[in-house]
Amino acid sequence: MPEQTIRWGILSTAKIARKALVGAIRASSNGELAAVASRSGERARAFAREEGIPVAHGSYEALLDDDGMDAVYLPLPNSLHREWSIRAAEAGKHVLCEKPLALDPAECLEMAAAASAHGVSLMEAFMYRFHPRTERALEMVRSGAIGELKQIRSSFTFPLDRPDDIRWSRELGGGALMDVGCYCVDVSRALAGREPVEVRAMANFHTTGVDRQMAGSLRFEDGLLAHFDCALTMERTQIYHALGADGHLRVVDAFVPETEDTIIERFDVENELTRVSVKGDDQYRLMVEHFADCVLSRRPARYSAEDAARTMKVIEALYVSARSEGAVVAVG
Ligand SMILES: NC(=O)c1ccc[n+]([C@@H]2O[C@H](COP(=O)([O-])OP(=O)(O)OC[C@H]3O[C@@H](n4cnc5c(N)ncnc54)[C@H](OP(=O)(O)O)[C@@H]3O)[C@@H](O)[C@H]2O)c1
pLDDT of residue 3: 61
- Any atom of ligand 1 within 6 Å of the Cβ of 323: no
Question: Nearest CA to 44 among 21, 23, 18?
Answer: 18
User: Given its phi and psi angles, is residue 232 left (phi above 0), alpha (psi -120 to 50 degrees) or beta?
Assistant: alpha
pLDDT of residue 46: 98
Q: Report the percentage of the chain scoring pLDDT > 70.
A: 99
Ligand 1 atom nearest the C-alpha of 76 is: 24
**Chain mean pLDDT for the chain:** 97
CA of 287 to the centre of ligand 1 (A): 19
Confidence of residue 1 (pLDDT cuts 50, 70, 90): very low
Kindly report, residue by residue over 256-275, the tens digit of the pLDDT.
Answer: 999 999 999 999 999 999 99
Kindly report, residue by residue over 220-254, the tens digit of the pLDDT.
Answer: 999 999 999 999 999 999 999 999 999 999 999 99
Kindly report, residue by residue over 49-85, the tens digit of the pLDDT.
Answer: 999 999 999 999 999 999 999 999 999 999 999 999 9
- Any atom of ligand 1 within 6 Å of the Cβ of 127: yes
* Residue 2 in this model has a pLDDT that exceeds 70: no
CA distance 159 to 7: 35
- Any atom of ligand 1 within 6 Å of the Cβ of 283: no
* Whether 103 contacts 79, CB under 8 Å: yes
Which one of 10, 11, 15 would you pick to mutate in the ligand 1 pocket, going by the greatest count of ligand atoms within 8 A of its CB? 15
Question: Nearest CA to 183 among 158, 217, 152, 156?
Answer: 156
Which one of 166, 183, 284 would you pick to mutate in the ligand 1 pocket, going by the greatest count of ligand atoms within 8 A of its CB? 166
Confidence of residue 332 (pLDDT cuts 50, 70, 90): confident
Burial class for 119, CB neighbours closer than 10 Å (0-12, 13-18, 19+): exposed
Kindly report, residue by residue over 131-169, the tens digit of the pLDDT.
Answer: 999 999 999 999 999 999 999 999 999 999 999 999 999
Question: Within a 10 A sphere around the Cβ of 165, how many other Cβ atoms?
Answer: 15
* Whether 283 contacts 130, CB under 8 Å: yes
CA of 128 to the centre of ligand 1 (A): 18
CA of 21 to the centre of ligand 1 (A): 12
CA of 40 to the centre of ligand 1 (A): 14
Ligand 1 atom nearest the C-alpha of 169 is: 32
Q: How far is CA 225 from the centre of its chain?
A: 22
CA of 308 to the centre of ligand 1 (A): 19
* Residue 11 in this model has a pLDDT that exceeds 50: yes
Q: Structure pTM?
A: 0.98
Q: What number is the average pLDDT over the span 112-136? A: 98
